[in-house]
Amino acid sequence: MRIAALDRVAEGAGLRPGLGIAEARAMLPKLDVMPADPAADRSFLAGIADWCDRYTPLVGIDGSDGLFLDITGCAHLHGGEKALMADLLARLFHLGLEARATIAATPGLAWALARFGAAPAHIVDAGAEEEMLVPLPLASLRLPADMRDGLARLGLVSVHDILTMPRAPLVRRFGPLPLLRLDQALGREDEPISPRRPVALLAAERRLASPVVAQDDILAITLSLATSLRPGLEARGQGGRTFELQLFRIDSRVFRLAVGASAPLADPARIAGLFRERLAALHDDIDAGFGFEMLQLRVLSAESATPRQTDLATAGAEDRPLTGFIDQVTARLGPESLEVMLRQESHVPERAASFLPATEAPSPDAPIRQKTPLAARAVAAIGAVRPLRLFARPEPVEATAEVPEGPPMSFRWRRALYRVRHAEGPERIASEWWIDGEDWPVRDYFRVEDVEGRRFWLFREGFFSDITMPRWFLHGLFA
């Protein structure tokens, strides 16, 4: 057992991460030890990252103990960079967390000063990057431990040491990583931050002087936020397809509610109505606690919305009952509750269509992007008929045919025997060799009707000339 993390008191006593517990107790007999829980630490860090969405939508997780916040264009909303950092550190302190922060032009420099700088908070002025980085140890460049040890054996222990030496010998000995990290910290090489969540197209937020608890108050604020988003959507000529409401509780916990629309939506009342259905479905799953201090409404996806002329006789009434029904049902029961079928370019029946949540399908007003697949046009050209109910996977049956390549005379499916009165076929469907390979057997499909008038769609897989006997499957029902 070894130390994974420790506090300032333990550090002051000379303990360090990686030290054995037995040795640590010998140095500090009153040492209090708790088992490490990496999963809980990751969950806690993710919760802090959610909480940081109040400052910027671009929040990335840095390892197991840090966060990257890209505050470009956001600092003025909080009174400037200094005020933003002071507010963030103060709030974390009141939550019982000790944090260090640095605002710099590059993620690498911010990372180095936040962990190895003398002060717990830094704001690096433009042009002072090299001056702030030079005195720091090589560990501030995020180099692997074995590489740092190799550099130390050559007497290179600080950033200044590798900054002043020739680059070519260093690259030949240790590879490009040390100089890459150095250039990233100094802004000579770009280093993008990968946000953990998708960036919203549009967002509006409301900070509250008095926290709210009641659902009606939350919905009233949501309606106000949706109203403020409407001009931005109209200016883009778009309507939202996916909306997300973030509820920031005063104890730092964040709740997210997402709803989708089956057609581009910009009407504030309808947007608020979707969240009313969503809140009604959740019931007690959202614990308001002592209240929510901030609400944020985000548009995650949008599509072009063509203005529509309404009927004067029904002005103000719901003119899209189907889309309204889809939105209401999916908001209450979830996006998987209603699905639509989309045609695919495949002549294999079970691949010719796929299902998509109704709120993610192309809207009725959007231009038709799907052309009739070639396989579907071929089926129509030969006059083939497809069953009303197609199984997701063909089900094996035991069939008996009068002649080897002929239709079945009878078959047994789910322990029941069916005697065939009429049969049509075969319709041969070959393999998609570019997907299944050349060994995938061909299928001969038959439309059969039993003595009681029930109609089935069966196929024989393979030929009697093959080494193995062909198999029969039931793929669909006509009635």
39 sits in which H/E element = helix 38-51
What integer pLDDT is reported at residue 80 of this predicted model? 93
Determine the CATH number of domain 1-36. Answer: 3.40.1170
Is the pLDDT confidence value at 133 over 70? Answer: yes
368 band by pLDDT with thresholds 50, 70 and 90: very low
458 band by pLDDT with thresholds 50, 70 and 90: very high
Joined tokens for residue 287 = 């614990």
Do the domains at 1-36 and 200-306+320-380 have one common CATH topology? Answer: no
What integer pLDDT is reported at residue 462 of this predicted model? 83
DSSP SS3 for 209: strand
Of 35-39, 143-147, 363-367, which range is least confident?
363-367
Joined tokens for residue 20 = 């054995």
Of 130-134, 190-194, 252-256, 402-406, which range is least confident?
402-406
86 sits in which H/E element = helix 81-94
What integer pLDDT is reported at residue 398 of this predicted model? 94
Give the CA distances from residue 276 to residues 66, 135, 257, 339, in Å, rounded to whole numbers and listed in that order. Answer: 36, 56, 11, 22
Is the pLDDT confidence value at 312 over 80? Answer: no
381 sits in which H/E element = helix 374-381
How far apart, in whole angstroms, are the C-alpha atoms of residue 215 and residue 208?
Answer: 15
1 band by pLDDT with thresholds 50, 70 and 90: confident
Highest mean pLDDT among 29-38, 344-353, 368-377: 29-38
64: left (phi over 0), alpha (psi -120 to 50) or beta: alpha
Place of tokens 């995938």: 440
What integer pLDDT is reported at residue 385 of this predicted model? 80
Question: Per residue in 151-173, pLDDT tens?
Answer: 999 899 999 999 988 999 999 99
- Looking at per-residue pLDDT, the higher value among 305 and 374 belongs to 305
Of 344-358, 379-393, 436-450, which range is least confident?
379-393
Is the pLDDT confidence value at 30 over 90? Answer: no
102 band by pLDDT with thresholds 50, 70 and 90: very high
Is the pLDDT confidence value at 456 over 80? Answer: yes
What integer pLDDT is reported at residue 313 of this predicted model? 58
What integer pLDDT is reported at residue 10 of this predicted model? 86
Is the pLDDT confidence value at 395 over 90? Answer: yes
CA end-to-end distance (rounded Å), the chain:
67
What integer pLDDT is reported at residue 7 of this predicted model? 85
User: Whole-number mean pLDDT of the chain?
Assistant: 87
Decide yes or no: CATH 3.30.1490.100 for domain 200-306+320-380: yes
- Looking at per-residue pLDDT, the higher value among 222 and 119 belongs to 222
Is the pLDDT confidence value at 298 over 70? Answer: yes
Domain positions in the chain: 1-36, 38-186, 200-306+320-380, 389-477
What integer pLDDT is reported at residue 402 of this predicted model? 85
How far apart, in whole angstroms, are the C-alpha atoms of residue 289 and residue 291?
Answer: 5
What integer pLDDT is reported at residue 317 of this predicted model? 46
The residue type found at 12 is: G
Whether residue 107 has a cis bond before it, omega within 30° of 0: no
DSSP SS3 for 91: helix
Highest mean pLDDT among 220-229, 363-372, 388-397: 220-229
Strand partners, 134: none
How far apart, in whole angstroms, are the C-alpha atoms of residue 98 and residue 92?
Answer: 7
Q: What angle do CA 94, 97, 103 make, to 5 degrees?
A: 95
Alpha carbon dihedral 171, 174, 179, 185, in 10-degree steps, equals 180
Task: Work out whether the CA dihedral 180, 181, 182, 185 comes out positive or negative.
Answer: positive
Rg (CA), the chain: 32
Rounded mean pLDDT, 28-51: 90
How far apart, in whole angstroms, are the C-alpha atoms of residue 340 and residue 349?
Answer: 17
The neighbour count for residue 353, using CB atoms within 10 Å, is 14
